[in-house]
Chains A and B, each alone.
Chain A
């Protein structure tokens, strides 16, 4: 009993259960929207969403993991910045420049041998994302410009700069980057495509490749950096209390710049991982629209409570729901409604923090009741043995 109570009260359990509770509320809300929009097929549709990535069998699970790669990376990016006291809303721009750099290297440097080619492409993507975040980082550290504003601006600069570069005449020479007829980027060289390794046996027919393994390893690495290194200790200290960090002799400016660069590199790597997945993977579409992957990172980070390990699960869950939404098209649901439903579920999932406070409060109340029970007998004993004081 005591052991159970201790487990129930451990922070890990409280965190996990609050995320689960947030998801449940989100699902109920999504179901309500389905009931309103299409009452006849609501229950059937809800079943499809719940089955999510599972309805496609092994291939479906593989697709879920593939969808999870970019949002795990942007989730890590946002979550890492949060932990260090920064709000990186520029994940979309960093993701975009990372994607472009990977595609550029993947197409243009086609003389490189296989593993080297995609490794260099990924490193390029990280570097580009990091540089893109360096600018708001420097502005924040040295000129006290709010990183939210500057990184939103960097999102647009990134998007339009990439679109401009892709169509630029200088890049028209073979091998071309832009596939004019499809309005997409061309396929990258076979040497630049991430290997599927054993995943092709596990999830036959799906697009998933070792990108998911890389994403998970990076998440574990980030967890390690944040919790076990002096570097992570310094960064978190600045995030929690910059005055006390300054007092302790930690350079706040250095911490801000470094955490922005790392956050940017994570987003940039996400862009690289997604766009180096071969002909069945995603290709970059030239649109005047910010990529949603960057913004999806925010609910992923919130649902994972900014914990890198939590973010792995949060990313996979949100990919799972998104795929479930796509299967919903087999029923009579309008595409827009499907987007609203998945968005509602994700929206509520981001409330994990609120639910954590709620669960902690409930546990406290229960603890109080228990301790009152324990104390009750002793209270009575003390009271009966004593006269009221002060009545002199």
Chain B
């Protein structure tokens, strides 16, 4: 068989867990091979073994049928293995060209020789349809462009085996399509691709074969064409997953959150100004703000929750104007917020899980007396939440939050915000970076909240999520609301046109 890379019977353990248990992965020449698994299934460990970052206890690696030993990333590079990391490794104030040649510069008598490199980069970008300006500064180009630079870096080093680690997490729907096309072109030129992901649609769209990992074990390798998405998700999670949600009709009641003619200026660098935004969220409905990243979604969430000052208009919670109120006052009047960036806003990573779960309530008389924290009560409250919301961690309530997995960190935030019994829950990209099981869980929680009469404002970049769980969709473009729809009356394609700004229509205020 013409396998370019074979990882046979790889076993790698860490204290307390068997991260990879006898995993076999075989990559054919010229194929796109997906590696599917939930967070913590062992995908990263397996790739780290391939890169020589970890030494497996058992198992061997073969390159084109010959056994090789990879001791460090340089060995991997020499074997032609390259990787686009989930978080790009680029120097921001260098140009595209400088970034590409970094580490493999050609020099003449100690001076950089850029011309030959430039020619090679231009030739490569034409050959593979990777359009980039070699002289642009990396900090000035879009995330999609930065990813192309990462791909060019691998091609410049003549890598034959390309690994993409969750490459679509940061891209817009259009950029994702471009990337898929690029990946297909690369395989036509004889490159082989390992595609790490947990998004089934993308696997269906580009991959030839797929290896599924679950809890460190290899569940099997399948032909993507012969397998349905449902089957794949079942292999990944180990149980049947409802990809479609049955949520019933919305039963909208009185308004809870009203935003009237909200205006913000862009005082800070990189902030989108908001232009005259008005909408209402009622009890018992999920209103979704859809849009391409960077069109003012974060600013809208900040303005409503009080993390950012507003320059005009009003924000009302339960009929009360809170636009000038502090964050604490807004929280107390019934606002909960699942923030976009769970590490920046959502959690204090150096605090224990229980200290994070109490973050919005530590000052309540129930948990403090004359300024003294009632630690046993806080502890038992945290234990209760951990059990009810199934938050998993190494040492329970006293685990340092930093050491928890992303999915469980997010569960902790969701638990904290929901349990605090808000009237309006603002959830900003609540499922970002999570696996199917955790996404299903969070969606069910949001719907349960809706059904219990809470108002929910969901800000999401994932069109599937928008279509599946919202009762009303508002499209945001360049800081304005450009359309309001019922998810039943609009297709994803049409929604995409509004999101890209090529269509707009009068919004029915309120």
Contact = CB atoms under 8 A, between A and B. Distances in A.
Interface in A361-376: 364, 367-368, 371-372, 375
B15 A386 contact: no
A386 B363 CA distance: 55
Contacts of A244: 344-348, 359
B13 A383 contact: no
A241 B25 contact: no
Given A237-B359, A241-B349, A249-B330, 12 more contacts: A229-B371, A229-B373, A230-B363, A233-B355, A236-B351, A247-B339, A250-B328, A379-B13, A383-B22, A388-B9, A390-B25, A390-B221
Contacts of B368: 230
A388 B362 contact: no
Interface string B52-81: 000001100000000000000000000000
B348 A237 contact: yes
Contacts of A243: 344-345
B307 interface: yes
B348 A390 contact: no
A228 B368 CA distance: 10
Contacts of B330: 249
A12 interface: no
A371 B15 CA distance: 6
Given A247-B337, A382-B22, A388-B8, A368 B15 contact: yes
A249 B328 contact: yes
A392 interface: yes
Contacts of B345: 243-244, 246-247
A247 B327 contact: yes
A250 B351 CA distance: 15
A228 B347 contact: no
A228 B15 contact: no
Interface in B343-375: 344-351, 355, 359-360, 362-363, 368, 371-373, 375
A392 B346 contact: no
Contacts of A240: 348-351
B408 interface: no
Interface string A169-180: 000000000000
Given A233-B355, A246-B327, A368 B371 contact: no
B346 A228 contact: no
28 contacts: A228-B372, A228-B373, A230-B362, A230-B368, A230-B371, A236-B351, A237-B348, A241-B344, A241-B349, A244-B359, A245-B348, A247-B307, A247-B327, A247-B345, A249-B328, A249-B330, A249-B360, A251-B326, A371-B14, A379-B58, A383-B22, A386-B22, A389-B22, A389-B24, A389-B221, A390-B26, A390-B211, A392-B221
A391 interface: yes
Contacts of A228: 372-373, 375
A248 interface: yes
A164 interface: no
B21 interface: yes
B425 to A, nearest CB: 15
Contacts of B26: 390-391
B376 interface: no
Interface string B258-276: 0000000000000000000
A248 B360 contact: yes
Contacts of B211: 390
B367 to A, nearest CB: 8
Nearest to A385: B22
Contact of A248 (B9, B359, B373, B375): B359
B326 A390 contact: no
A379 B24 contact: no
Contacts of B328: 249-251
Contacts of B307: 246-247
Interface string A239-279: 01101111111110000000000000000000000000000
Interface string B305-328: 101000000000000000000111
B359 A375 contact: no
A221 interface: no
A129 B65 CA distance: 73
A243 B341 CA distance: 10
Contacts of A247: 305, 307, 327, 337, 339, 345-346
Nearest to B8: A388
A367 B8 CA distance: 27
A13 interface: no
A142 interface: no
Given A230-B371, A244-B348, A372-B57, A390 B24 contact: yes
A134 to B, nearest CB: 22
A241 B363 contact: no
A84 to B, nearest CB: 12
B21 A249 contact: no
B497 interface: no
A391 B24 contact: yes
Nearest to A371: B15
Given A240-B351, A245-B348, A390 B218 contact: yes
Interface string B22-38: 10111000000000000
B431 interface: no
Contact of A372 (B13, B351, B359): B13
A375 B21 CA distance: 11
Contacts of B350: 240-241
A229 to B, nearest CB: 5
Contacts of B123: none
B464 to A, nearest CB: 28
A364 B57 contact: no
A382 B21 contact: yes
A231 interface: yes
A13 to B, nearest CB: 17
B429 interface: no
A382 B217 CA distance: 11
A383 B58 contact: yes
B18 interface: yes
A236 B8 CA distance: 49
A243 B371 CA distance: 23
B359 A379 contact: no
Interface string A208-248: 00000000000000000000111101001100110111111
Nearest to A245: B348
Nearest to A249: B328
A220 to B, nearest CB: 15
A369 B344 CA distance: 35
A364 B14 CA distance: 10
B393 interface: no
Nearest to B332: A249
B16 interface: yes
A-B CB proximity, top 9 nearest: A249-B328, A390-B221, A247-B345, A249-B327, A240-B350, A371-B15, A390-B24, A241-B348, A248-B359
A379 B11 contact: yes
A236 to B, nearest CB: 8
Interface in B95-112: none
Nearest to A383: B22
Contacts of A249: 326-331, 360
B224 to A, nearest CB: 14
B220 interface: yes
A231 B18 CA distance: 42
B375 A383 contact: no
Nearest to A366: B15
Contacts of B18: 375, 379
A245 B345 CA distance: 8
Interface in B406-428: none
A383 B362 contact: no
A233 B362 contact: yes
A337 to B, nearest CB: 41
Nearest to A229: B371
Contacts of B337: 247
B362 A379 contact: no
